Amino acid sequence: MTGRYPDEVDVAIVGSGPTGSAYARILSEDSPGLTIAMFEVGPTVSQPAGSHVKNIVDDDSRSDAQRRSEGSAPGEATLNSPRAVAAGGRRARPGTFLLPDGDFAASGDGLPLAAMSSNVGGMGAHWTAACPRPGASERIGFLDATGELDELIGQADRLLGVTTDAFDGSPLGDLLRERLAAAVDEGRAPAARVQKMPLAVHRREDGRLVWSGSDVVLGDETRNNPNFTLFDETLAVRVLVDDGVAVGVEVHDRRTGETHEVHARIVVVAADGLRTPQLLWASGIRPTALGRYLNDQSQVVFAARITGIEDLPVPEGQKVAGTLGESSGVSWVPFTDDLPFHGQIMQLDASPVPLADDDPVVPGSIVGLGLFCAKELSADDRLEFSDDATDSYGLPAIRVHYALTDGDRETIERAKAQIMTLARAVGEPLDDAPFQLPLGASLHYQGTTRMGETDDGTSVVGPNSETWEVDGLYLAGNNVIPTATACNPTLTSVALAVKGARDIVHRLSDR
């Protein structure tokens, strides 16, 4: 040991979000004799470590956990709703922090709301927990061709604890999906029809919701593994490479200010879509595709009220006293290539727009509609890393080059028309027109270390998530996804992490 760190481990994992945790879980299940060290730049803000902050019952404790996740400048003003995000200027949501002012756009439209979290569990401590399966062109063709993709996604469901029944007691959910289906289901394959949103959420016997974070992905299998150790408040500053082979990581102890080298047989970097390529650049690992093919999901949002329900009886078990719980029901309008949007339809506990004082709200009747749009991929949409300037962690400063194409703008306009169709199908639109959130608001940054079937210069990693350029270096996260997706990407990125972890197990068992 050097200080609180080991001198050597079998596998070093940078990042404690859902994908880094998936690596640790699969390694603990399939090869428990391997020593594993996981490094996280942020503090532990919840218990069990990595658990979702929504599971913190006390409001003040939850707010404190969110503030401690907000990087090197916690406590700055944040915004907590889509409408506030759209109207309130350039502010992050609770638990996240923005790229420094000016760094979000070096050219084009930029990503003004590009944000990150620094805490054990990463963004998995703050996410919406939506886990839709990719469809049509969102799917990864070369993994589909081998028959692997669905089995891997099934494993991701298992690790994340995905369910579809957590909100079965929500009032009017079935009616809402019936009305949405009447508007869009004709001609769709069964998997692409309106349905309940798969969520990494379960309901306890006492009725409380439990939202999955990295704690669920790690599971008891990892927590009880004596060969696994999580080191928080530890910044990885460099991947150590010797003659084209990853041999460990250099880490900076943010508690003491000391720097250490931890040697490893395998290195996994799962530091998010912005900081994973940043760490590779800082390590001198700079393949052509690094930071390129950046893509995010433009969001169009609106609200409506379910009408014609005043005389409907509330089924037994669906009576609600007072307001509904947060996210009281989530329905899903899947992506198709003809309508390249992913729809996340949420029954809200309050109206996002003011209603008349004498206008009573039936529980479950206020609906927030959101459509996420797939982006046209381009190598010109990229991250640029400085050789001179540094960020608050001392790593190369990030600049964003990102522009919507004419095709992207057409898709957004189509989404606006489609969301009005959905709102009218639901009942009464609650505003004059939908609005588009500022770019970067989805927090779904993908493609910056994308996967490829062959090493043709357009990808950073191969089908097992190992980098083409450095042997024994694996990457994880939404940044590995090579397709343009509209659906929430976490399920897919965890599935890819399962495949990478299995490759490590096979690889180290052969040595």
Q: Which residues are catalytic?
A: 444
Angle between helices 490-509 and 149-160 (to 10 degrees): 100
Closest CA to 421 of 413, 411, 431, 429: 429
Q: Could you write out the three-class secondary structure of 279-315?
A: HHHHCCCCCCCCCECCECCEEEEEEEEECCCCCCCCC
The candidate with the shortest Cα–Cα distance to 140, out of 502, 505, 497, 492, is 492
Phi, psi of 22 (to 5 degrees): -65, -40
Neighbours of 356 (CB within 10 A): 6
Cβ pair 280, 30 in contact under 8 A:
no
Distance CA 162, CA 34 (A): 28
- Residue 52 neighbours by CB distance under 10 Å: 24
Bridge partner residues of 475 (DSSP): 269
How many Å apart are CA 99 and CA 113, to the nearest integer? 8
- By CB atoms closer than 10 A (0-12, 13-18, 19+), residue 138 is buried
